[in-house]
């Protein structure tokens, strides 16, 4: 069973970019908690925004979205405490 939630909440993301211009999230601060990102997965453009799948050190996975209109980050989905194999 997967504990997944669909969300649309603001979040703070600390990130860098690699040589190819891909965004590399390093941490996510959400609901007064900071998650260290250990795995960055697929990235895609949808409706002019950048979506990224990431995994935190505790196994929580997120889909975060960079809203290009205001450069703000939002959490779109969260999977609680699952490790990416």
Where does the pLDDT of residue 82 fall: very low under 50, low under 70, confident under 90, or very high at 90 and above?
A: low
The answer to whether 25 and 14 have CB atoms below 8 angstroms apart is: yes
Is pLDDT above 80 for 84? Answer: no
The answer to whether 54 and 64 have CB atoms below 8 angstroms apart is: yes
Task: Express each pLDDT in 15-56 by its tens digit.
Answer: 999 998 889 999 999 999 999 999 999 999 999 999 999 999
What is the DSSP secondary structure assignment for residue 19, as one 8-state letter? T
Task: Express each pLDDT in 69-78 by its tens digit.
Answer: 999 999 999 9
Please give the structure tokens belonging to residue 34: 């900071």
- Domain segments of the chain as ranges: 4-79
Where does the pLDDT of residue 1 fall: very low under 50, low under 70, confident under 90, or very high at 90 and above?
A: very low
Report the alpha-carbon distance of residue 2 to residue 11 in Å, rounded: 22
């Amino acid at each position: 069973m997967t504990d997944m939630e669909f969300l649309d909440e603001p979040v703070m993301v600390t990130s860098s970019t690699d040589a190819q211009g891909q965004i590399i999230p390093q941490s996510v601060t959400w609901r007064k908690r900071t998650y260290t990102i250990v795995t960055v997965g697929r990235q895609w453009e949808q409706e002019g925004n950048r979506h990224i799948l990431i995994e935190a050190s505790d196994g929580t996975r997120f889909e975060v979205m960079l809203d290009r209109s205001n450069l703000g980050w939002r959490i779109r989905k969260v999977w609680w405490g699952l490790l990416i194999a």
